[in-house]
Structure 1
Amino acid sequence: MSSRIYKLKELVESFSVRAKDLGGSENLPFLGVSNEKGITESKYAAEEKGDDYKIIEKGCFAYNPYRINVGSIAYVEEDIKGLISPAYVLFKVKPNKVLPQLLLTFLKSSEGLSQIKQHARGTVRQALRFEDLCRIEVTLPDYDKQTEIIDRYKKNQLQSDSLSTELTHQLDLVRQLRQSFLREAMQGKLTADFRSAHPELIEGENSAQALLEKIKAEKKQLIKDGKLKKEKELAPIGEDEIPFEIPEGWAWCRLGEIAYNIEYGTSEKADLNSVNIPVLRMNNIQNGKIVLDNLKYVKDTIKDLPRLYLFNNDLLFNRTNSWELVGKSGVYKGQNSVMTFASYLIRIQFIEQISVDFINSYINSSFCRESQLEPHIIQQNGQANFNGTKLKNIISPLPPLSEQQAIVSKLDELMRTCDELEASIRASQQQNEMLLQQVLREALEEKKAEPVLQTVSATRKSNISERTILAAYLIRRFNSDGFGRVMMMKLLFLVEYICQIDFESKYVVNVAGPYDELILEIESKLRRYGIYDARKNKIDNHVRYHEMMGVATVDELFEEKFSGEKEQIESIISTFKKAKWEQCEIVATLYAVWNNRIIKGQIINDLALKQDFLNWDPRKQKYTDRLDSALDWMRGNNIIPAGWGSVIEK
């Protein structure tokens, strides 16, 4: 088999037939091209001009010359005939030159798209004419070998698509985790320890109610001094309006009570002249933050300036957008009086005793979204709106100022963890796409390409994150007053060895049984992921696990990562459900010495197993009288090693 480089002019020929040349357009469907769906019914056809449309039929490639740069090209496999815009480019492959599916795959690949952009013409709107298409180059093997290549690619594409779906699901789990953190923060669960440690900072004069009284007095003085306009008094908060419980020392308030200014942005037309004043628009609010991308500008002489200059810590709220995006907010962190904001945004300026970052976190939480925003969004002409009057009346939980700051600090830490998780997943998505493109490239060039999932699955064996999920699941199923690190370590060992899950663990002899120092990294990740916090008890020095807000995601993560082993793991859990930590220590140690003997090919009998157990550590002598019953229990529950894994030694 040999490959060579072809120009597409050697492989394809134009197909341009008008409906009027074949008897007219009557009874023929109007079609278009979608990047995702291929050939689709057209919703925007000029049906009265149907006779001028081009005929599209089986064997045709079709693309909009202004859209092919994003992969919007399709091939007609079905035996159909229809009409397509006369602006579209249509062509067919020459006989016995290239398989249509292989050519389509190439043109939608990163290499194909790169050449499309290279050969397209135009400045503002680039277009790829048929003669431009013909200059594209592709490396192809002999025609009779191309079916093998496309079959191999499709197999890898199925695997890649499966992985892509999983990674997208993981991104959704991170999004859910972010919302879980926000919900816990708004209910005061993130800072329960802070309140216990600093009661003086949340009581009496430092309580939220006292803070509201101070703000009310300050606003009253500003009105008296002529620095603030008197506004209509906001309605008291009714009991039926309160969406969830808050800790003692907190209060409920309306945003209008704690803000001194709420106003719309400028409606002046902006342009791309960067020597002028940047205007923040709705696209500049992303994931609760202000991003300074794709800016537009207005002159500093417009009537709205200097009044609408932004100041550090101004909160911007998106009042008009799609249903999903209206209501997003972010905090401007920058120099005063150098930027402004557009009319689709509302600026909120708060009294100094309020943490604007806390309020921003609340507005971006599902609590606020579901109870305060969505019930009052108005949908008109395809856009959703939420006005300033409604914004003033949003009710918000209000902790004392010191606790607001503690919540913001904790959320910053947790959101950084989410950012790291998201970045890792997106890197995996990019790697997955690159591997699939490599499969195509190497296949066309006759190199042997490794299947995508072989490359991905090779890292699964040593995936500490998956081992952390397994540990989290075991903790969730067993966590009680007597459960801690010792019992979790033994259960994790037994599940790994019984189910033969290769995490490349490094178990060694420890007084309490098999021990792996990676438990410390697992506990660190449990804390970073906001699932469990490992704390040492000051009385007995035992490490125990305390739930954090991310614990709600554990079951779904376990189901996703261990679906193949789930039944066997659940059986082990059921077997040990009523066991105490001492029993787990005895069984895990007996299992380890028994497994050692199988691996080493040594004699196995109860006397030898018991002696190995006692030789494990001098402090094992206290269990001498329990070993016979433990061995009987192991055989009765089929907890019998198979000689899998490594020998566990000191």
Structure 2
Amino acid sequence: MTEVAKYIHLKDLCSVNQGLQIPISKRFREPGENRFFYITVQFLKDGHLEKYYIENPPKSSICNPDDIIIVRTGSTGQILTGITGCFHNNFFKVNYDKNLVNGKYLYYCLTTKEKQREMKIRAGITTIPDLNHFMFLDMKIPFLPLKFQNGIVSVLDSINLKIELNKKINKQLEAVAKLIYDYWFVQFDFPISKAQAKAMGKPELEGKPYKNSGCKMVYSEALKREIPEGWEVKQVGDIVERTGTGLNPRNNFKLGEGENFYVTIKNIEQGRIVLDDKCDKISDTSLEIIDKRSNLKPGDILFTSIEPVGTTYLIKEKPINWNINESVFVITPNLEEVSSEYLYMFLSSDYMKAYTRNVAYGSIHKGIRHGTLKECKILVPQNEILIEFSQVLDPILDKLDVAQKENQKLSELRDWLLPMLMNGQVKVANNSSETKEYSMEQQRVSKAAENELSYDLQRLEIPKSKKGFAKQVLAGKIIKECKDSNDFTNIKLQKLMHLAEHLMEADLNLNYYNQAAGPFDNRFMHVFKPQMKQQKWFEKTGYRYRSLENEHKIDNYFDNYFTPKKRLFARLINLLGNASENQCEIISTLYAVWNDRIIKGEPVADDLLVNDFLNWSERKQKYNEHQLLKALDWMRENGIIPKGFGELIKHKKK
């Protein structure tokens, strides 16, 4: 492409129109006919969950996937495309002439560093930064004939496609890594080694899952659960060589000098470092100063110490152009105790997330101290198991690292190409066969990863004649996993049963009634104790369940009925197995009133759910609104979210 771009005003290519400020009283919390998702600046924030919908908005305030909308104030110049909805008056829509300009070409033009900087400067002319229509339309962009615009879009889209495919593959690889970790160290179904099988005098068990094969488990007082024989419980401080941090500027160095990156918590996403324009820059001298304190090296784990607490990254190579600030911990494992891969997965686990939530301090920004982190209990397996685990996990982590670095280079290439293509300084080649081949390979790998993960999505197929026994098995499995906790009562058992049946979408003759402590299946609770004794699984003695000779058979029965949902069940037990009776009552009852609203098609909002909970029974008055709102946040964070499965909670006739 030898065409030289000329610069023309945006007003010669497009017009703009403002969005609408919709009163809260006219916003809906649920989608419906002729309702459009309401796009506000809150929508731009990470982790934003609350959505509103507007009914029959004016056509001028509606945007479609091929439209471009731009933020006027706040995050001035931020550009959105590819979404459908009704936009707030903090945005304006760019109505471009499709006969003159490719919408994606215009989008790419406006996302260049040059245009982003210009929009912020133009918005800053007013007292309150505001990119008004005139200032925006007065800007100029490089203009080329439509066929050349299309070629530029094709090149940039192909790069972005590769980046997105890499992200998708990485997300799936991360899920696979977590699945492996959970199977080995949460469910204890790691494969039995040849040496272990031989030592047990059962060579036929080689390669079989440890716990499911009936291998010996011992009760850990520290963890309040059974663990494999020979494993130890220690504190994090016992298995690391050191914990350290980076350095804050203060009198040590200056920001904004040089080309190296100064990494803070905002630049660390789970499993990756984001080196982009949002990252502060530091000089070579500053980099050396920080490194004397942080001493980053391969095998170290980075751990964010303030909100969001506990985001982690495993260092695979010595960093050469970045280092960390004081809010990022660096943790060096003692390799005689644990491997880097095991410690990284432990620090990234659901258990650690729950621990940090419970111990984090601070009224505004929650955080964790080195000493508190070191006090966290960690299960330490035998060395041969750690070696085998690292051999399995290391290739997955390597693939993640390679894809992340490739994305970093692709992003840099895209950002370099963008202005060069716009100005006609780089020409577009016609041969895209290599790109197509690469894309097909990426999609093939992506599909393979999806197939690996489809295991969790399978539905349970339990014959009607077997549902009664399957329900006994589920109760037996819960008792087996939780019976040794200090607060395992009939109420807690029933609440865990209610949550397990609904989260696993297991229709086991659902028969839950509204009773004082929450959802209660009275019919089942009256018969299950004799059934447990008849099966020789457990016997209730006082407030405890005593194991009987056939307890070991429960796991095999459980696998027969619930294998597709084992991971969901393990997650539930991991979250609530050691929770108090009151905590389980709160979560189960909130789940029930939330699920009922979904089934009935009623609005779902926190204040409505709290009200439903408090009106459940007089017993609920012992809980306060703050507890319930906190519980709802916890449920969302941990995926305990109803989908409208099952039936409405029943009420006894008065």
TM-score by length of 2: 0.39
